[in-house]
Copies of this chain bind each other. A is one copy, B any other.
């Protein structure tokens, strides 16, 4: 572990001034002798010189640093998103720093402050659930930030900055249509926690379509799950008792939990129960290839989010950014056919 070499030391060793070294190492247009250039590069390499980006940022006023705050890095959806975002940033020559708010406003706030203190060029933020419901504090913090902020996936209502997410209501609609198509008439929906607006929206879209197809409220069972395997597992019996033939789970993990429970009852999917999941994020493991599910294209989300932030960064560098109205982009989910939806058992028309 060697001490850090500075530009000045390189300059001295190469018998030139610091300014010359800077020009050469940054490939700035200059008319410095080819020979001198080579000498400088050689010395820099030999000494393992690496520029101090912080010092550079101080004078250039850009750090080429992007911060990403996710609520839960152990959630595969966010992990996958992080990965795609990193690719996007890297391609544009930015480094992505990632942190985890654990879905709590206090952590989120501390992280934001920390990142802003690091003089980042932009921030990608998936708000904590707490901020999703009570956005005021977060909004104030974003307004005070010195750099552009783009919200992802959880779009807090008042439009304080741009956001990119999915149309969750539409996702719920897709699920409902698919089950109606298979002639089901009695349904259940396992949503997320009551304070998760995205999950609620999925359920909302689902119910809306059912109602508009004249499904009676008595034929729809609405449940709140925990977005985990266990949540589906534990609620499966309720769904069976209710006699639903079509089930919509607001994420795949719960759908798998339900299937596990059904297997224990020696019941088969989709004969005993048709299931539509949500996310298709576990497909990476080859685990949900069987599941009919509403897919959210994480890659698209990442690309669009980055585009949005990058646009603001460029605006911010040049003139003023403030003028533009904030925009909210909603991406369309799509349904992916698996093998967990079958036609409802034929029945005498009631």
Contacts and interface: CB of A to CB of B under 8 A. Distances in A.
A335 to B, nearest CB: 22
A119 B54 contact: yes
B117 A50 contact: yes
Interface string A45-82: 00010111111011000010100000001101001101
A58 B50 contact: no
Given A50-B116, A147-B1, A287 B73 contact: no
How many copies altogether?
2
A319 to B, nearest CB: 13
Interface in A9-60: 48, 50-55, 57-58
A3 to B, nearest CB: 6
A79 B100 CA distance: 10
- For A100, A263, A286, the residue with the greatest tally of chain B CB atoms inside 10 Å of its CB is A286
Interface stretch (A90-98, A195-203, A340-348): A90-98
Contacts of A48: 144
27 contacts: A1-B149, A1-B161, A1-B316, A1-B321, A2-B143, A4-B146, A48-B144, A52-B119, A53-B114, A54-B54, A54-B63, A55-B58, A73-B73, A73-B82, A76-B76, A79-B79, A86-B99, A95-B99, A97-B97, A97-B98, A97-B99, A98-B98, A228-B286, A229-B287, A233-B286, A253-B285, A256-B287
The 8 closest A-B pairs by CB, nearest first: A230-B286, A54-B54, A97-B97, A4-B146, A98-B98, A53-B117, A229-B285, A229-B286
A289 B48 CA distance: 50
A53 B143 CA distance: 20
A47 to B, nearest CB: 10
A99 B98 contact: yes
A145 interface: yes
A257 interface: yes
A214 interface: no
Given A95-B118, A96-B99, A256-B287, 8 more contacts: A1-B143, A1-B321, A52-B119, A53-B117, A95-B99, A228-B285, A229-B286, A233-B286
